[in-house]
Amino acid sequence: MITIRYINIALEVFGGLLSLIFILCLSLTGQRKEKLERMYIRVLITNTAVLFCDAAAWLFKGRMDLLGFYAVRIANFCVFSFGYILLAVFTDYLVCFIASRGFGISKFPARLMWSLSFTAIVLVIISQFNHMYYLIDDNNIYHRQNLFWLSQTFGIFCMLIDGSLLFRYRRRLSRAELMAVGAYIAMPIIAMFLQIYIYGIAVLYLATTISALCIYISIQVEQSHKFACEALELERSRTLLMLSQIQPHFLYNSLSVIKGLCQTEPLLAEQAIDHFSDFLRGNLNSLSNGDVIPFEQELSHARHFLAIEQMRFGNRIKICYNIPVTNFFIPSLTLQPIVENAVCHGILKRKEGGTVTIATSETDSAFIITVMDDGIGFDILNPPTDNRVHIGISNVRTRLAAQSNGSLEIKSLPHHGTTVTITIPKESVL
C-alpha cells in the first residue's frame, strides 16, 4: 500500500507540474490571448488544482496530527469539488471551441453544466455529514462508501453531454481537432468507469492530464498554422503595398520634372534626382525588409516623396514638421502612404493647395504619429471609392497590427481636412 501511495503521489504531482508547464507556455508567449486559449488555460488551472489536492490527500493519509486531520478532509473535499468544476470549465471551453469554428451554438449547455456541477458539489457537502460518497475513519484513512458510484456516474453523465455536443457539431472540425477534444471526453469517461471498480490507483485525473496534453498539442499545431498564414498574408500585403507605390504616373511626372529642371536649374535637378533615387530605393528595400525600421528612416522616405511633389506643385504644397520624438521603430512604408494620401487626395484637390502637418508625440504607454491636412476631407460614413487608396490604408493597418501591435485611426470632415493617427505601443517597439 505504501508503494501504491507514493506511486499515486508521484503520478499526480507529475501531472500537476505538467499542467503548470502548459499554463506557463501559453501564458508567457507574449501574444494576445484568444478567448479560446484563455478558456483552455482555465481548464488547465482547474486540472492542476485537482491533481495537487489529490496528491495532498494521499500524502497526508493516515497522519494523526492536527495538520493531517484537516489536510485529508479538505483535500478530499476539494478533489470532488474541483473535479465537478473541471467538468463545467471544460464545457465552457467546448462551447467556445465549437463557436470558434463558425457554429451558432447556444450557451445553454455551459449553463446547464454549471448547474449540474453546483448540484454535485452540494451533494459532496452533504456527504461530509452522511458519508454517502466516502468516509474518513478514526485513523485518518479514506474509504469509499456505498454511493461512491453515484459520484462517478454523475461525472460520466456530464461528459456524455459534452460528447453529444462534439458529435452534433463534428462536421466543421478537422480529424485532428476531433481526436484532441474527443480524447478529453473519452479518456475521463473510461477512467471513471475504471475508478468505480479499481481502488487505490488514481487513474481519473491522470487521464485528464493526458487528454489535456492532446489539446495542448492541437493548440500548438493550430498556432503554428495561424502564424504561417499571417506571415504569408504579411508578405502579400508588403508586396502589394510596394507595387502600389511604384506608380507609372508618379514615375512619369517625376522624370518630367527632372527633365525640365535639367534645362533650367541643373543644381535643383541634381537634388531632384537624389530625392527620386532615394525614394525608389526606399520602396524597393521595403519588399525585402520584413522588420520594423527606425522612425527617422521612414520619415526620411516621406521627406523624399514630399520634396519631389513640392518641386512639381510649388507653393500649393506646404509641409509643417513637429517631430520631438523619433526614438522608436515602425514598419517600413507606414508613414509615406499616409502622407501621399494627404497630398494627392487632400490638399491637391483644392485649387490653392494646403498644408500637411506631420507630428509625433508620446504617452506613458505609446508613441503617436499624426498626419493632418487641411484638404477637402471626406465623409467617414461614405469614404472615397478609390481602390488603390483603400488597399494602401488596409495594408498599413495590417502591417501595423502584425509587426508593432499598432493601430491606425482616421478622422475626417468634408471641407475640413483629414487627420490620421498611428498609435504604436511602447512595449512592442522599444
Q: Is residue 195 part of a domain?
A: yes
Which of 184, 208, 237 marks a domain boundary? 237
Tell whether 203 and 284 lie within a shared domain: no
* CB of 318 closer than 8 Å to CB of 356: yes
430 residues of the chain, pLDDT tens digit each = 557 778 778 878 888 888 888 888 777 764 545 777 888 889 889 988 988 998 899 889 888 899 999 999 999 999 899 989 988 998 998 888 888 777 778 888 889 999 999 999 999 999 999 999 999 998 999 888 889 888 888 888 888 888 888 888 887 777 777 777 777 777 777 776 776 666 666 666 667 777 777 777 766 666 666 666 666 666 666 555 555 555 556 676 777 777 777 878 778 788 888 887 877 777 666 656 667 889 998 998 888 889 888 888 888 999 999 999 999 999 888 898 899 889 988 899 888 999 999 999 999 989 999 999 999 988 877 776 665 555 567 778 877 887 888 899 999 888 889 999 999 998 765 5
E-strand spans in 271-417? Answer: 292-294, 317-322, 329-331, 354-362, 366-373, 407-412
pLDDT tens, residue by residue, 275-284:
878 777 776 6
Task: Give the CA angle between residues 92, 43, 20 to the nearest 5°.
Answer: 165
Tell whether 159 and 269 lie within a shared domain: no
pLDDT tens, residue by residue, 256-303:
777 777 878 778 788 888 887 877 777 666 656 667 889 998 998 888
Per-residue pLDDT, 318: 93
Tell whether 292 and 356 lie within a shared domain: yes
- Range of the structural domain that residue 120 is part of: 1-237
Per-residue pLDDT, 237: 61
Tell whether 389 and 305 lie within a shared domain: yes
Q: Is residue 351 part of a domain?
A: yes
Q: Is residue 6 part of a domain?
A: yes
- Nearest-angstrom CA–CA distance, 163 and 252: 66
Q: How many domains does the chain have?
A: 2
Amino acid at 165: L
Per-residue pLDDT, 23: 83
Tell whether 297 and 341 lie within a shared domain: yes
Q: Is residue 242 part of a domain?
A: no
Q: Is residue 430 part of a domain?
A: no
- Nearest-angstrom CA–CA distance, 324 and 359: 8
Q: Which of 343, 360, 354, 334 is nearest to 308 (CA)?
A: 343
- Nearest-angstrom CA–CA distance, 49 and 116: 20
- Nearest-angstrom CA–CA distance, 102 and 393: 28
Q: Which residue has the cell 495594408?
A: 395
Tell whether 227 and 262 lie within a shared domain: no
Tell whether 388 and 282 lie within a shared domain: yes
Which of 183, 217, 237 marks a domain boundary? 237
Tell whether 417 and 293 lie within a shared domain: yes
Which of 237, 260, 284 marks a domain boundary? 237
Per-residue pLDDT, 130: 92
- Nearest-angstrom CA–CA distance, 310 and 320: 13
CATH code, 300: 3.30.565.10
Per-residue pLDDT, 289: 61
CATH code, 5: 1.20.1070
- Rounded to 10 degrees, the C-alpha dihedral 211/212/213/216 comes to 130
Tell whether 343 and 420 lie within a shared domain: yes
- Nearest-angstrom CA–CA distance, 184 and 181: 5
Tell whether 169 and 215 lie within a shared domain: yes
Per-residue pLDDT, 175: 76
Q: Is residue 361 part of a domain?
A: yes
DSSP structure string for 175-188: HHHHHHHHHHHHHH
Tell whether 115 and 218 lie within a shared domain: yes
Note if the pTM is more than 0.85. no
**Do the strands 142-144 and 134-136 form a parallel or antiparallel pair, or are they unpaired?**
antiparallel
Q: Which three cell numbers stand for residue 308?
A: 519631389
Tell whether 11 and 156 lie within a shared domain: yes
